[in-house]
Amino acid sequence: MRRRSPVTFLLVLLFVGFIEGAAYYGWSHLLLNLKHPTLSALFKVFYWIETLGLVAVLFFVMGSFARILNVKRTYYGFQGAGIIMSDILPKLLFTVFVMLYTIIQGGYVAINHFILHSTQTRLNIDWLLIFGTVASLTIFAFIVRGILIGRFDFKVLKETIHFDTLPDAFDGLRAVQISDIHIGSFYQHKDQIAKAVDMVNSLKPDIIFFTGDMVNNVAEELKGFEPILAKLQAPLGKFSILGNHDYGDYVKWESKEAKIKNLDTLKDLQQHAGFDLLLNENRLITKNGQQIAVIGVENWGTPPFAQYGQLPVAVKGTENTPFRILLSHDPSHWDVEVAKKTDIQLTLAGHTHGMQFGIRIGDWQWSPVQWRYERWHGLYTHLKQHLYVNRGLGHIGFPGRVGMLPEITLLEFRK
């Protein structure tokens, strides 16, 4: 199991303590102006009880991730992480306003005392704290909605892509892509996976692609979900690959053999769920005498993510196929090894989750994840090569989705 350094605990506690203290100062000051001693006293009692509860949850969460092999404990650890984020992030935003308030007040006092020699000691800018309170409550509302509703608010996004080399027999092909289920995060929500399966089947796909991260860490998460996923139906098949979380790399195993056994179990469970798992290999799909190739590589990411993918091995035997689809979990792979270096027409990826947080207004979208990944969601094109990045069906760490809702992608191929 992973062990957290005492220094890590201490730094986290210091950070939380600073945020809690600053927020307390700001709200206490506002309540003081109301001149309602009973309300101020109730606030003090409630605030510090709530803070002690937060610290207890914090210790539980950090302990849960130290025992990451326990699927149930990890699930509840994620729920605890949601409680922490819904508490700390609004207070963090409010702290920015408190610090700004303090700096302005301090500067005002210093100027009056040392330069103007005035007795004025306070500037009436309490409106800044009121505005900060409204902003923090708004963030709190978005986070809570993301936890209670957003993470299960599956959205179907449709994209039509045109290809010069698409065989006539596949003109109009309907392909559904799902990605990053992180199925351990649905530990008590099998009904939600069943809902997603029904949504996929209602689209009547010809073929289904799953682009990695079936689990958070261990194969045990998938047990019991296989019969649900087996109901995914597509006449031309359903194909899957592995993502960075599927290898068990984020768990400290008792032995090398235990890690290998976990991965073998995951492969078997995916087979029981009806997926054709592609491990640096390919399949030729035939329709009306014409063929396309589906190529699947193991995870290939830029550091610190592992590079198990072997594209030259995976494409062997597809060189003369007129149209090829590559399944590669990490979109970084497209820029490094696919675009401009091969003639693979379409690559499907996931991995980024859209950071599970962002803003979408029409065709415009923003997420902090774009500071890490240039290609993080949607369709990207270079000449006649295309990459589609799915923002994922599941969630990990933060048990919610704010703005970047879970996605089921319907891709229609056109000549």
- Which pair of tokens denotes residue 337? 């090894």
**Length of the chain as a residue count:** 415
Reported as a single tens digit per residue, the pLDDT across 317-332 is 999 999 999 999 999 9
Predicted local confidence at residue 380, as pLDDT: 97
Q: What is the 3-state secondary structure (H, E, C) of 260-305?
A: HHHHHHHHHHHHHCCCEECCCEEEEEEECCEEEEEEECCCECCCCC
Distance of CA 233 to the CA centre of its chain: 26
Predicted local confidence at residue 261, as pLDDT: 97
Phi, psi at 342, each rounded to 5°: -135, 175
Reported as a single tens digit per residue, the pLDDT across 71-100 is 998 999 999 999 999 999 999 999 999 999
Instruction: Name the nearest CA neighbour of 388 among 357, 351, 356.
Output: 351
Return the residue matching tokens 């379409």: 346
Q: What pLDDT band is residue 120 in, cutting at 50, 70 and 90?
A: low
- Residues in contact with 50: Cβ distance below 8 Å, sequence separation at least 6, in sequence order: 87
Predicted local confidence at residue 39, as pLDDT: 87
- The upper half-sphere exposure of residue 381, i.e. CA atoms within 13 Å in the direction of its Cβ, equals 8
351-380 residues labelled b (16+ CB within 10 A) or e (exposed): bbbbbbbbeeeeeebebebbeebebbbbbb
CATH number 3.40.718.10 is the correct assignment for the domain at 154-414: no
Domain definitions of the chain by residue range: 6-148, 154-414
Reported as a single tens digit per residue, the pLDDT across 346-395 is 999 999 999 999 999 988 999 999 999 999 999 999 999 999 999 999 99
Q: Is the pLDDT of residue 148 over 50?
A: yes
pTM of the full structure: 0.92
